């Protein structure tokens, strides 16, 4: 859904709480994170557990978030980023 510009992306991060994400996801959100790591190097095996860039408010799993989106009638497209 393009409200202002067809090329505008609206990303909803795990910094927002569950209730807010559930309510706003139908309003043109183009991408939504789940199970995010906020630690520098957080997806590596040697991440320092005491460091974090910001606090996660929505701690649901990918499965829980996709279930919620499907229940709202939204199409789920998952993407594992390409390594160039």
74 vs 38, which has greater pLDDT? Answer: 74
21 vs 81, which has greater pLDDT? Answer: 21
Q: How far apart are CA 31 and CA 81, in angstroms?
A: 13
pLDDT value of position 71 = 95
Mean pLDDT across 55-73 = 88
Q: How far apart are CA 16 and CA 56, in angstroms?
A: 8
60: Cβ contacts below 8 Å, ≥ 6 apart: 18, 34, 35, 68
Mean pLDDT across 56-60 = 81
Contact in structure between 18 and 57 (CB atoms under 8 Å): yes
pLDDT of 22-48, one tens digit each? 999 888 888 888 877 666 555 556 555
Q: How far apart are CA 80 and CA 43, in angstroms?
A: 13
67 — phi, psi (to 5°)? Answer: -60, -45
């Amino acid at each position: 859904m393009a409200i202002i510009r067809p090329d505008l992306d609206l990303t909803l991060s795990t910094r927002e709480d569950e209730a807010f994400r559930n309510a706003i996801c139908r309003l043109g959100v183009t991408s939504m994170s789940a199970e995010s790591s906020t630690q520098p190097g957080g997806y590596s095996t040697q991440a320092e557990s005491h460091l974090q860039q910001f606090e996660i408010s929505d701690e649901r799993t990918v499965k829980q978030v996709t279930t919620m989106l499907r229940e709202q009638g939204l199409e789920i497209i998952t993407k594992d980023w390409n390594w160039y």
